[in-house]
Amino acid sequence: WCALVGVAEDRFSEQYRVDSAELGEQFQERVTEERLVRRRGCGEVRVLRTCWTFGPLDSTAMKAMMAVTLANSAEVPAMSRLSPSDRLKHVSLGVLVLQTTSLVLIMRYSRTLQTEGLRYLASSAVVCAEVIKIIACTALVFKDNSFSVRALNRVLVEEIINKPLETLKLAIPSGIYTLQNNLLYVALSNLDAATYQVTYQLKILTTALFSVSMLSKKLNVYQWLSLLILMMGVALVQWPSDSAKAPETEEQTASSQFVGLLAVLVACFSSGFAGVYFEKILKETKQSVWVRNIQLGLFGLIFGVAGMFAYDGKRVLENGMFQGYNNVTCVVVLLQALGGLVVAAVIKYADNILKGFATSISIILSTFISYFWLKDFDPTRLFFVGAVMVIAATFLYGYERKPAVSPGKV
């Protein structure tokens, strides 16, 4: 007889720890062998498949087997119990922190870097990011179809060309995302990275409000409380501080900060609406998320080129689309194009607590790097209080109460 023995949970009752001698000498030898394997550092065995040759097992024997397996699992070192899903969560945390922090800091650095010659056009960078995103998503669809050119062509024709109404639905969020990407450059040209990171968390508020109105989502008490704390924290971060700057410099700083704040607020509203609208479309159809991103990218490319010629057309015609580009600019474009796709690939392994940790670490890193490296940030007490409130609100919004487990149930 073959038995599948899983590693028992700590909640197993003592009543199942019966005398394992009833199972016979063969089972005892197998247990001893498994214990030796564990002691040699082979890691945790989630499922033990063992062939028993001494006849059928009754319920008492099965309980004893599970009890002995529990006793053996206690001998496994804590580090060896790290499951693949836990390792993926840790990798996801690192990816989220790296993408969120690096994009903001490098974009801020690229917009304030003093270089000879022309500065690169933000509208041009947005267009380049859309092109790279389309290429990357097409490659992913190509991979999902077993690297078949014919299958790739069939999917793109059927999902994009033969379904024009479904494709046109993506025009609205795509246009909003294009506006949002341009606004982020404006915001980081006028705000330091730390202030931007904290203020941009208002997208949680806008996303929640649009989710309630468009998706009929219900928020619990903790989530409503977190939104209130979030607004208070952002207000403290943006509270004007007393400084000993010259009147002209202070007026210029206040004006720049107002432009940056306005850009962030509009970006938060556009991010919330576009995100919820895109989520609604994904729930209504069964299309691949990569195909949807290709559709978004195509419209984004159209809107991006139109915006580039509308706002920077004269400079593009005089000095070209890639004026002012350098290595830093290329890194910014790649992070903006591929960062979102990387996050989309790992986000399924990250729960709300992990995303809260990523946001908190990103804010802290942005604060330290802005102060010590970029030297464009002078923190105040109100900023620290507001930042702590925003971090707490982020955790509170993702908090989920676990139902109480009845002691009588295993």
**φ, ψ (nearest 5 deg) of residue 4:** -100, 115
pLDDT at res. 21: 44
Across 358-366, average pLDDT: 86
- Judged against a pLDDT cut of 60, whether residue 8 lies above it is answered with no
Altogether, the residues listed in the chain come to a count of 410
The C-alpha angle 361, 366, 368, rounded to 5 degrees, equals 95
**CA–CA separation, 184 and 122 (whole Å):** 9
CA proximity to 199, closest of 176, 177, 231, 166: 231
25 and 54 Cβ atoms separated by less than 8 Å: no
**CA–CA separation, 347 and 321 (whole Å):** 34
333 and 85 Cβ atoms separated by less than 8 Å: no
How confident is residue 81, by pLDDT bands cut at 50, 70 and 90?
A: low
CA proximity to 376, closest of 67, 113, 8, 45: 113
Task: Write the DSSP string, 245-309.
Answer: --HHHHHHHHHHHHHHHHHHHHHHHHHHHHHHHHHHHHHH----HHHHHHHHHHHHHHHHHHHHH
**CA–CA separation, 343 and 202 (whole Å):** 20
Q: What confidence tens digit (pLDDT) does each residue in 223-262 have?
A: 999 999 999 999 998 887 655 454 544 555 778 888 999 9
188 and 101 Cβ atoms separated by less than 8 Å: no
Q: Of 63-67, 185-189, 210-214, which gets the smallest average pLDDT?
A: 63-67
Per residue, the 3-state secondary structure of 81-126, as one string, reads HCCHHHHHHHHHHHHHHHHHHHHHHHHHHHHHCCCCCCCCCHHHHH
213 and 290 Cβ atoms separated by less than 8 Å: no
69-75 long-range Cβ contacts below 8 angstroms, 24+ apart: 69/5, 69/6, 69/7, 69/8, 70/7, 70/8, 70/10, 70/12, 71/17, 72/31, 72/34, 72/35, 72/38, 73/7, 73/8, 73/44, 75/35, 75/38, 75/39
Across 173-186, average pLDDT: 93
pLDDT at res. 29: 54
* 287: exposed, middle or buried (Cβ count in 10 Å: 0-12, 13-18, 19+): middle
pLDDT at res. 40: 46
- Judged against a pLDDT cut of 70, whether residue 16 lies above it is answered with no
Q: What confidence tens digit (pLDDT) does each residue in 295-352 have?
A: 999 999 999 999 999 999 999 999 999 999 999 999 999 999 987 777 766 666 666 6
Structure tokens at 137: 């998503």
Structure tokens at 286: 């069964």
Q: Which residues pair with 50 in a beta bridge?
A: 3
pLDDT at res. 139: 94
Provide the percentage of residues in the chain whose pLDDT is more than 90: 39
Structure tokens at 91: 């990798």
Q: What is the mean pLDDT of the chain?
A: 77
- Judged against a pLDDT cut of 60, whether residue 294 lies above it is answered with yes
Contacts (Cβ under 8 Å, ≥6 apart) of 91: 346, 349
What radius of gyration do the chain's Cα atoms show?
28
Which helix (H) or strand (E) segment is 147 a member of? none
Structure tokens at 119: 């500065």
pTM > 0.85: yes or no: no
pLDDT at res. 267: 94
